[in-house]
Chain A
Amino acid sequence: MKSSVIIFPGSNCDRDMDVALKKFGFENQMVWHNDAEIPKSDLIVLPGGFSYGDYLRCGSIAGKSRIIKSVIEFANSGGLVLGICNGFQILTETGLLPGILQQNKYLNFICKNVFVKIKDKENKYFKKIKKEVLELHIAHNEGNYFCSKDELKSIEDNGQIAITYCDHEGNEYEKNNPNGALKNIAGIFNKDKNILGMMPHPERMIDPFLSGEDGSLFFENLIESL
Chain B
Amino acid sequence: MKVKVIVTLKNGVLDPQGKAIQQTLNGMTFDNVSEVRQGKYFDIEINEIDESKAKLQVEEMCKKLLANLVIEDYKIL
Contacts and interface: CB of A to CB of B under 8 A. Distances in A.
A57 B68 contact: yes
A102 B65 CA distance: 16
Chain B's interface: helix, strand, loop or mixed, by majority? helix
A93 B68 contact: yes
A180 B13 CA distance: 12
A110 B30 CA distance: 31
Interface residues on A, range: 20 to 34
Nearest to A147: B70
Interface string B51-77: 000000000000011101011000000
Interface of A: 56-57, 60, 64, 92-93, 98-100, 102-107, 144, 146-148, 151, 180
B70 A146 contact: yes
A64 B65 CA distance: 8
A99 B65 contact: no
A202 to B, nearest CB: 26
A100 B64 CA distance: 15
Contacts of A64: 64-65
A60 B65 contact: yes
Interface in B30-52: none
Contacts of A107: 16-17, 20
A104 B66 contact: no
13 contacts: A60-B68, A64-B64, A92-B70, A98-B70, A100-B70, A100-B71, A102-B14, A105-B14, A106-B16, A107-B16, A107-B17, A144-B14, A151-B70
Contacts, number: 35
Interface of B: 13-14, 16-17, 20, 64-66, 68, 70-71
B70 A99 contact: yes
Given A102-B14, A106-B16, A56 B65 contact: yes
Given A56-B65, A107-B20, A180 B70 contact: no
B17 A103 contact: yes
B6 to A, nearest CB: 14
B20 to A, nearest CB: 6
A163 B69 CA distance: 25
A146 B65 contact: no
Nearest to B70: A100
